[in-house]
Amino acid sequence: MELFVLAVGSVLIGTVIGGIVSRLASIKAAFLTALGLFVVAAVLAILGEQTPGWDGLGYSIVATILVTPLAVGTLLVALIALVFSRR
């Protein structure tokens, strides 16, 4: 249950980050932020696969439960901003 709350909280923080970036900078910047977060998640997943023991598990957990939902929330807000843009 605690991990679910952590993942949902990470999505909510990602939506706030995406909203701030898309409002202050641009929608393209929000997409680039989401892409950067997905790259960070991929690097952490690769490190988790290559690192033995508990350290590898830690990298995998951070990639799966924290960074990927953060990127999904940012991407969701960027897509919503793209659909509802008035330009």
In the 8-state DSSP scheme, what is residue 1? -
pLDDT, tens digit (0-9, with 9 covering 90-100), for 31-87: 999 999 999 999 999 999 999 889 899 999 999 999 999 999 999 999 999 999 876
Whether residue 77 is contained in a domain is answered as yes
Measured between alpha carbons, how far is 81 from 84 in angstroms, rounded to an integer? 5
**What are the pLDDT digits (tens) for 2-26?**
888 999 999 999 999 999 999 999 9
- Retrieve residue 21's tokens: 């970036």
Q: What is the pLDDT of residue 2?
A: 83
Q: How far is CA 37 from CA 1, 53, 65, 71, 85, in A?
A: 24, 25, 13, 5, 23
- For the chain, what is the domain count? 1
Residue 27 lies in a domain: yes
Kindly state the tokens that stand for 80. 């919503």
pTM, whole model, 2 decimals?
0.88
pLDDT confidence of residue 87: 60
Domain of residue 61, residue span: 15-83
4 within domain boundaries: no
Is residue 23, in this structure, part of any structural domain at all? yes
Residue 40, domain member (yes or no): yes
DSSP H stretches of helix in the chain:
2-24, 27-50, 53-61, 68-83
